[in-house]
Amino acid sequence: MSEFKKWHDIGGLHNVLKYLKMLQSRCGATPPTVRYRAKIKLHGTNAGVRLDSEGAHFQSRNRDLSLEADNSGFYAWASQYDWQCVRDLGEYVLVIYGEWAGPGVNGKTSLKDIPEKTFFIFGAEMTNPDGAVDKYFDEDELHGLLSLLAQCDNPPPYKVLPWAPDSEIAIDLNSAVDVAKLQNLANDMVEQVEVCDPYVKETFGVEGNGEGYVWYADVNGVFDPKLLFKAKGAKHQGKKAKVAVEVDVEVLKSIEEFVETFVTTPRCEQGLTEACGDEFDIKKTGVFIGWVCKDVAKESKDELETSDLTWKQVSAEVVRAARTWYLEGVQRV
């Protein structure tokens, strides 16, 4: 069986800009001109269908699933269907990535009111026998790839996330003026989606708030995962910030301000889902704290550097805040 293949980690626009500055400093690479387009970011749980010569395998954000170790019922749903009509893969591996969302899966947006849980596909990648990505399929190509599923005896139902209307923009990432245009567009779109998710409203006739957007980068016709960035509304941000899309990270003046910025309710709720299966159980306190610490450490590197702080300085307070949040939940149930 092929190895688990995780979808790309996605940071903010400021992470993209820092990465490009690093490339410019190390090897003189000028930041490129990019065609950015956005897809709605649904508030569910990451899921994937991995196809290889042995069959179909089902996964969450971080692990392979089974009926005994499922994730919000995705394995139980996906394993009912035939996925093998997509392609004769040989030594290649195809992973279809999406968001498993709907009633009972992170009920913080309008998705909680759609008729049933649904697999919303946002991309697919083909890896070669060496494990390197050989081909990325975006929304423009997914329909053709997935049309082969219709030939299966028992094809799965799914939806392909489209490009968000009016989101396409050509940006010279070496231009501060162009970057500001992208930042303003992304922030405006987040502000609107916090009022009403246009995709859910159009698709299901359900009106209510949404989570945000993921912005995909096309450089000379080639998808570049290093330039992906996400923009989420205030109710869903793991980090407390003045605006959804930052170009420069804020300098945090103290350890207390750091903890307040990063140990937020949305981050803790995500940890509750991913680490504890949405269950407050005193026996899982350590697992929850470990997830929060790992997530904060991963996402706060720029802020620690800018604020002249170290993880060693802040970690004990992160643990304390995470433990307090979780144990308060244990007491409520």
Beta bridge partners, 231, equal: 213
Confidence of residue 306 (pLDDT cuts 50, 70, 90): confident
Neighbours of 23 (CB within 10 A): 15
Q: Which range (25-34, 42-51, 157-166, 249-258) has the least confidence? A: 249-258
- pLDDT of residue 236 exceeding 80: no
pLDDT at 278: 84
Confidence of residue 189 (pLDDT cuts 50, 70, 90): very high
- 270-291 pLDDT tens trace: 899 888 988 899 999 999 999 9
Structure tokens that stand for 152 in this block:
């299966």
**Coil, helix or strand for 167?**
coil
pLDDT at 19: 92
Beta bridge partners, 52, equal: 55
User: How far is it, in rounded angstroms, from Cα 271 to Cα 291?
Assistant: 6
Output the pTM of the full model. 0.85
User: How far is it, in rounded angstroms, from Cα 205 to Cα 220?
Assistant: 37
pLDDT at 106: 76
- Average pLDDT for residues 201-211, to the nearest whole number? 95
Q: What percent of the chain has pLDDT over 90?
A: 73
pLDDT at 209: 92
pLDDT at 1: 83
User: How far is it, in rounded angstroms, from Cα 135 to Cα 325?
Assistant: 42
Report residue 281 CA to chain centroid gap.
Answer: 26
- 125-180 pLDDT tens trace: 999 998 899 999 988 889 988 888 888 889 999 999 999 999 999 999 999 999 99
Do residues 194 and 234 make contact, with C-beta atoms less than 8 angstroms apart? yes
**Crossing angle of helices 311-332 and 255-262, rounded to 10°:** 50
Do residues 15 and 302 make contact, with C-beta atoms less than 8 angstroms apart? yes
**Coil, helix or strand for 109?**
coil
- 120-135 pLDDT tens trace: 999 999 999 988 999 9
Give the DSSP letter of residue 197: -
